[in-house]
Structures are given as structure tokens and as C-alpha cells.
Amino acid sequence: MTDFEVPDVEYSRYTNRQLAAIPLAVLAVALLIIAGWYVVTGVPVTPGIDFTGGTELQISASDSPDQIEQTFESQLPYEVDSVVESGDSYIVTIQATEQSEVNEIMNTAEEEGYTVQSAQTRSAAFSTDAQRQALIGVAVAFVGMSVLTFVLFRTFVPSIAIVVSAFSDIMIPVALMNVFGIPLSLGTVAALLMLIGYSVDSDILLNNSILRRRGDFYESTYRARRTGVTMTLTSIVAMVVMTIFSSPLVFGIPLLPDIGLILVFGLTADLMNTYLLNVSLLRYYKYEGVAG
Amino acid sequence: MSRNFSLRENWRIVLLVLIVLGSAVSIFAPVGNGGSAQNATVENASESATAGPTNLQFGLELSGGTRIRAPLVGMTAEDVGFNGSDPQGQAKLERALTNELSLSPQDVRVQPTSQNSGTVEVFNENVTQEEFARALQNQGKDVQTDDIRDGVTDKTLETAEGVLDRKVTGAGLSGGEVSISRSTTGDEAFIVVEVPNKQPEEVVDLIDERGTVLVVAHFPVEQNGTKTYRNVQLFTQEGIKSVDPADQPRGGRPGVPITLKQDAAKNFSNAMREFGFLSQPPCTYAANKNDSGHCLYTVSNGKVVNGTITKGEIVSAASMGDLSTKMKRGDFVDDPRFRITSANLSEAQNLALDMRAGALPTTLNIDEGTSTYIQPSLAEKFKLLSLVTGLFTMLAVAGTVAYRYREPRIAVPMVVTAAAEVFILLGFSAAIGLAIDLSHIAGFIAVIGTGVDDLVIIADEILQQGDVSTNRVFRSRFRKAFWVIGAAAATTIVAMLPLAALSLGDLQGFALITIVGVLVGVLITRPAYGDVIRNLVLD
């Protein structure tokens, strides 16, 4: 049976500090980006219309994005946030939340010869509430996962290793959302929650292999890593394929690219966190922390 | 494979096969929906073909149309003390509150929930919680502002759901559906209206008014020597027993024949006598709006507050006509048939629809909700393309697994098992009539990912160096693998539960499918894959 070409990390050549340095540095950069974003824009990550309220139209038109923006702004009193190309149509985001305004916008679009393929409106009140709920949802999921982890392993260091790693798995994609300009939507929130579940798999596998099995630390790590890397890579491949096919460049299906991309970011971060941060914490626990 | 395949040892595989077969039945077997199956004995093949080749149902995003999600206007005071078995006392409280807050009778609702208490609701945006609490206090009720919450009672929600459902069906919007969406925390509830093939504007037009039909007595009174007009509400839809289709008799005016309930008929008759309608000249609304004499108004979507019609449209103003003689003779209460006329036939049809559907207990606050419209052709495209995306994802996973194991005997069952998991989920969706949307598709694809992950754990654990010579070794290794899988499944479920519970709408489906997928995986497909691997290694 052949193996993936996993770079064979010679863990024994590096100290725990050296191993943990990279993921912790990446996490620090991610947190800095999020904090910086918060200082500059007032929010840790830019919310999309799901959380701010607004109207999103998908139209097919022969005009250029600039022309579309001008048409809407000259005909209507509402501000056009953006016009983005998606496949053979455009996604237009407009700051209007009342149903009468939406009817007006749809009628204007049709008078201008655009075909309205889809229209979504979220009111400000609904969105504020969605934001609160989403935040509570992520917090509850994270706390629930943490509690469950402690119940499963009943020892501090290995449990906290999983929790820290899952935290980083969420923070890194959030920072990358800011970098790549992906707004926070219901889809991305779902993906972040999914990450909590997904990323913990390989951590549990590693912890279980090292703590609950007989045998040498490096051998256990190697075995868990071989299985874990296969798992995570398979998931990454699945999500990359889903993201590419559903992206505006190919099929232009909503929701799926958001979920896919966030999971790709998070799972990649998880490879690093599990096999550098988690391993170093477990080695510390196994060789030095036991007495304490 | 194994030379002697024992059913008893491989019951997990057998179970998996049975469940997959069951799912196939659930997805593909022609199901008679309602009467069509019985009628369609001759051409049932073509009948079922119209609904598509499967029993899968698709939601708005994959079939097209409009979805409006909106809360109801209103606030509720819970546990207000009053005698629960005294309808007259409750009606008195309603009237007192109506007067004090200058509301129409439709805007206040008192409902007993126990022997000595109940809820009081106010359905009007202009009343503040403070005003409501003060009005209740003035009626001797011990209610503070903090006791009043936004939102309406479950009963009101259900009434609204029923009314909207009848409206959507009555308006001939086929496939339209009305439901209540609640957060499990219970503090939030929305009415969701889904109508295929329609644009938001049409749907909003249908649902944004309460659809109240009022019949109002409009008549002059002398007050300190000056003539003023009074309006008294006679009955609403609630007083109507049955509604015939709108019609237009030859040479007559279009209208809707209705039959009143006995109580309403008695009230109506008494009021007519009291207000002097039985001996007055005909209504002259058409000639002189402002001094029309005694008229019966039919008001749609209106309100009568303190003797004035404050809202709505007067769809017709009629004289008593034959009714006078009938009421004079005292026949009306025993034969309370009556005709509501209107200006034209289409208006009469709207009236009939509103009267049949009933009035909404309160208005939908559409501007505080969401609306989604998807062109049917785009939705069809999404359906096909997301299927293709799912297939490519599956292929990519298969490729990865094949590359990793280079051993078809391990990789092929792995991919087949993961596919079975998705297939079972589809069967589950068809069986419970789940309307599949994009969020569910994302869930299906996520399930492929987690499913294969766990199969990798099982395969690696069992195939690790050292021969699996006996069933005992196999079992111990399988159990070890299963501990990891179970723990991972538990964390995924914990992570998804808040999403399934919150009323974030679009994402509840994703969470539901992921959770069910994980359960199907842990309980059915992954143990079966363990059996497959055992047959391989113990050979």
C-alpha cells in the first residue's frame, strides 16, 4: 500500500517550541488581521446582506456592470453597493429593504430590459436578529464541542490542544475572508460551524492514537497522521471540486462556493494545526507534563 | 469474496442493502398523491411523469417562485387575570381596551388559557407597550410594561397560517404553501409563504392586507341640532356561515350570496330595527356620497374606530331592499340569506375569496422579513448543475481514495458505501417530504466528505500492520476505530445542533441533513463497511 507524499516530518529533530511556533504565528497574524479589520471598519468581518439587510438581484443583461450601476442609480433613489459578474449574469446588491422598494427595483429592471432571475431581500430588523443568532450559534457550538472534548479525554492538555486547534481553524478562515473580500453570509456561518465538526475529527484521531494506544509516541503519531492526512486531503479535494464547479466562473450556483471555500481554508489550517501545534502539545504532555 | 457468506455474520451488510432498497422505493416508487392515483388507473404512467421521475420534492431555490417570510404585527400580555369561563366578561374587557386605545374591534383579542387567566393581544403598530400596560392597569389588571412581549400567541399564528393557506389556495396559486417557522427558543416566529412561479409583487398583493370584510351600518343621527353620520360594524366574516360563488344575475349587479350565522343574523336584524333602517328611503350613496341616508356599507380591509371608518375601501353601499320586508316580518333570522353587492365581478370575486378565507387576525409585517424570488428556469438550472457538482465531487473523492489505497477491493466498497449514505439520505428526504434546497445539497456533499473520512479511519485501523487472523482481533480493532468515529460524529452533531435549532431559515436544512447523515453513517453504513473489510481480511 503506498502512501501520500506526505512530507515526512522528523518530529524528533524539532523542539516543541519550534513545532508550535509556526501555527501560533499564523494564528497571531490571523487575529491581528481580524483585530485590524475591527479597528478600521468597526466589525471583525464584513457582513453580507444576510446580516445587514438589503436587496440582491441576479439579472441577465447585455450592459456592462458600470452601465447597470448607472442605470439603477439614475432611475432609483437607492444606492447600488456592487455589481458582480456571475456566469452569464450579474449580481446587483442594492441598499433597499422594504418590499415596496423591491417591487420598484424589479419593475425598473424589467423596464430597462434586464431579466430578473432572482431577487432576495432581507430587512434590517431581520438581519440584526440573524446576526445575533448566528453569533450565539457559533459560540454555543464551540462551547459544546469544547465540553464534549473534555468529557471524552478527561485530561487538560490533550483537550485544550483540540480546543485551541479548532479555535485557530475558525479564526484563520475568518481572517482569510477579510483578505479575499468574502462577506459573512449564512452560508459562511454554516461552513464555520461545519469546520468545528470537521476539523476535530483528525485531532480526536491523533489524541486517541497517542493517549489510548500502546507504543512509541512517534510511531503512534505517524500512524494517526497517515490516516488523518488522507481524511483531510480527501475532504479538501471534495470541497475544492465543489467550490470550482459551483463558482460563478463555472456553474454560478449560490451558497455552495461560500461553504466550499471556507472549508478549504479551514481544513488546510487544520492540517497545520493538528500536525504541528497539536503534536507539540501532546509531546509536551507525554514527556514533560505528566509529572505536573 | 468470501466462500461462505453467512447472513448472520454479515447482518450489517444485509441491513444496509435493505435500507438502500427501501430508499430506492421511497425515491422512485410511484406514489398516488391524493385522488389522482385512483382516477389515473388508465394512464398512471403519464400522470406520475408530470411530477418528475422521482418522489423527491424541491424547495423554492430548486423549483423557482417566491418565498416571503415575515413576522406578525402584535404584542401579547400573558397571564392576565380574568375569569376564563366568562365569555361575556372577556368581550367586555375587549371592548374596554378597544375604546381606551382607540382601536377597532379586530385589533384586540382576549383568550383564556386557564380558569382564571389568559392572554391579551393587541394587533396595532401604533400602540406602545407602555400604553397597552396602562390600559390593562386601568381595567384593574396587574400588568407591568415588562410583562408585555412582542409577538403574538401560538393560536393567532395558527389562525393566520390557516387564513393565508386558504387565501393562497383560493386564489388558485397551485403548489403554494404556508407554514410557521419558529426558533426553538420560542421567542421568534415567522409566517413563511411559498408560491411557485410567481413574482413577489403578486404574492405580496395577496397577503399584505388582513382581508377583513366588514358590513357597516352608515346612518345619520341628530346631535345638538346638527346632522352627523355614524358607522356601526354589523358583522365580519366571522358572522358568515357560508359563501356562494360570486355571480352577476342578468340585469342585476354583481355580488356574493352569503348566509349568516344565527347570532350574527339576530344582531344584524336588531341593529337595523334600532337604527331605523327598516323604514327609511333607499341609500343615495351613488348620487350624494356625503349625505347618503341609511346605507349598508361593505368595507374591505377597513376598521371602524369610534363611529368612523378609518381605513379600508368602501366596496359597496346598498339599500335594504327586500331585506326590510323580510326583517319586518321577522323571517330573516330563520332564513339569514343575504347578498353583498359590489361594483364589478372581479371585486365580487375578491370579496368572496376574502370571506371564505377569513380575515387575518393581524397584519404580516412584510417589511421586517425577507423575500426571495427565483426565476423557475434559473432554479431548474441550479437543480441540474448542483447534481452535476455533486457527481464531480463524488468522482474526486473516489479518485483520491483510489490513489491512496491502490487496491480496488478496499477503495470501491468505500466509495460505494459513501454513495449509499447519500442515497439513503435522499430516500429519507423523499419519505418525509422534505423540500430539498441548495442548503440541503451542500449538506449532502458535506456528508460525502465526512462519510469517506470515517471509512478511511476504519480501513486504516483494520488494515494496519499485523495480520487480522481472527474475528477477535478484527472486533477489537473495529471497536477502536469506532470510538474515534463516534467521538467525531458526536462533535459534528453538537456543532450543528444550534444551527438546526435557530430560525436562520436557509441553514436549518443544511444542519438537519448533516446531522441525519452523521447518524445514518454511524449507525448503518460504517458498521456495514466494517463487515465488508472483515470479509476481505479474514478470507
The pLDDT value recorded for residue B183 is 65
Number of domains in chain A: 2
Range of the domain at B318: 213-345
Tell me, yes or no, whether A179 and A281 share the same domain: yes
Tell me, yes or no, whether A74 and A42 share the same domain: no
Average pLDDT over residues B510-523: 88
Write the CATH number for B144: 3.30.70.3400
Task: Using a CB–CB cutoff of 8 Å, tell me whether B453 touches chain A.
Answer: yes
Mean pLDDT of chain A: 87
Contacts of residue B497, Cβ cutoff 8 Å, sequence gap at least 6: A140, A141, A144, B511, B515
Are B506 and A186 within 8 A, CB to CB?
Answer: yes
Per-residue pLDDT tens for B122-159?
999 889 999 999 999 999 888 888 889 888 999 999 99
Tell me, yes or no, whether B423 and B369 share the same domain: no
A5 found inside a domain? no
- As a 3-state breakdown, chain B gives helix, strand, coil percent values, each rounded to 5, of 50, 20, 30
Tell me, yes or no, whether B341 and B473 share the same domain: no
Helix or strand (DSSP H, E) at B435: strand B435-436
Mean pLDDT of chain B: 85
Nearest neighbour of B371 by CB, restricted to A102, A253, A259: A102
Min Cα separation A11/chain B (Å): 22
Nearest CA in chain A to B70: A126
Task: Using a CB–CB cutoff of 8 Å, tell me whether B125 touches chain A.
Answer: no
Long-range interactions of A170-174: CB distance < 8 A, separation 24+? A170/A138, A170/A142, A170/A195, A170/A196, A170/A266, A171/A27, A171/A30, A171/A31, A171/A34, A172/A26, A172/A27, A172/A30, A172/A265, A172/A266, A172/A269, A173/A262, A173/A265, A173/A266, A173/A269, A174/A30, A174/A34, A174/A44, A174/A45
DSSP secondary structure letter of residue B522: I
Other C-beta atoms within 10 Å of B281: how many? 8
SS3 of residue B151 by DSSP: coil
Number of domains in chain B: 3
Query: In A, residues 64-123, which contact B (CB 8 Å cutoff)?
Result: 97-99, 102-103, 106-107, 115-123
Task: Using a CB–CB cutoff of 8 Å, tell me whether A190 touches chain B.
Answer: yes
Tell me, yes or no, whether B177 and B255 share the same domain: no
What burial class does residue B412 get, using C-beta atoms within 10 Å of its C-beta: 0-12 exposed, 13-18 middle, 19+ buried? middle
- Residue closest to A252 by CA, chosen among B59, B379, B382: B382
Compare B461 and B2 and report the one with higher pLDDT: B461
Tell me, yes or no, whether B438 and B296 share the same domain: no
pLDDT at residue B493 tops 60 = yes
Per-residue pLDDT tens for B241-277?
989 988 888 888 888 999 999 889 998 989 998 888 8
Tell me, yes or no, whether A91 and A165 share the same domain: no
pLDDT at residue A113 tops 70 = yes
Average pLDDT over residues B505-534: 86
pLDDT at residue B32 tops 60 = no
Are A226 and B460 within 8 A, CB to CB?
Answer: yes
* Per-residue confidence band for A87, with pLDDT thresholds at 50, 70 and 90: confident
pLDDT at residue B443 tops 90 = no
pLDDT at residue B45 tops 50 = no
The pLDDT value recorded for residue B34 is 42
* Per-residue confidence band for B30, with pLDDT thresholds at 50, 70 and 90: confident
Tell me, yes or no, whether B250 and B334 share the same domain: yes
Tell me, yes or no, whether B391 and B527 share the same domain: yes
Tell me, yes or no, whether B221 and B114 share the same domain: no
Q: Supply B297's cell numbers.
A: 356599507
Tell me, yes or no, whether A219 and A261 share the same domain: yes
pLDDT at residue B24 tops 90 = yes
Nearest CA in chain B to A119: B373
Per-residue pLDDT tens for B127-137?
999 999 999 99
Average pLDDT over residues A93-101: 83
Are B453 and A201 within 8 A, CB to CB?
Answer: yes
Average pLDDT over residues B466-487: 82
Tell me, yes or no, whether A33 and A172 share the same domain: yes
pLDDT at residue A98 tops 90 = no
A25 found inside a domain? yes
Per-residue pLDDT tens for B366-409?
888 888 899 998 899 999 999 999 999 999 999 999 998 888 88
Tell me, yes or no, whether B157 and B88 share the same domain: yes
Nearest CA in chain B to A257: B442
* Per-residue confidence band for A1, with pLDDT thresholds at 50, 70 and 90: very low
Average pLDDT over residues B434-446: 84
Whether the CB-CB separation of B526 and B483 falls below 8 Å is answered with no
- Give the integer Cα–Cα distance in Å for A14 and B438: 46
Are B367 and A97 within 8 A, CB to CB?
Answer: yes
A3 found inside a domain? no
Nearest neighbour of B456 by CB, restricted to A134, A234, A259: A234
Tell me, yes or no, whether B220 and B188 share the same domain: no
* Per-residue confidence band for A269, with pLDDT thresholds at 50, 70 and 90: very high
Average pLDDT over residues A263-286: 92
Per-residue pLDDT tens for B355-378?
888 888 899 988 888 888 999 988
* Interface size between A and B, measured as CB pairs under 8 A: 243
Nearest neighbour of A251 by CB, restricted to B368, B385, B464: B385
Average pLDDT over residues B116-121: 91
Tell me, yes or no, whether A95 and A175 share the same domain: no
Task: Using a CB–CB cutoff of 8 Å, tell me whether B197 touches chain A.
Answer: no
Tell me, yes or no, whether B411 and B511 share the same domain: yes
Range of the domain at A262: 11-47+126-287
The pLDDT value recorded for residue A128 is 81
Min Cα separation B353/chain A (Å): 24
Nearest neighbour of B200 by CB, restricted to A103, A137, A145: A103
- Give the integer Cα–Cα distance in Å for B410 and B257: 74
- Give the integer Cα–Cα distance in Å for A229 and A268: 10
Min Cα separation A141/chain B (Å): 4
pTM for the full predicted model: 0.79
DSSP secondary structure letter of residue B187: S
Tell me, yes or no, whether A132 and A264 share the same domain: yes
- Give the integer Cα–Cα distance in Å for A77 and A95: 10
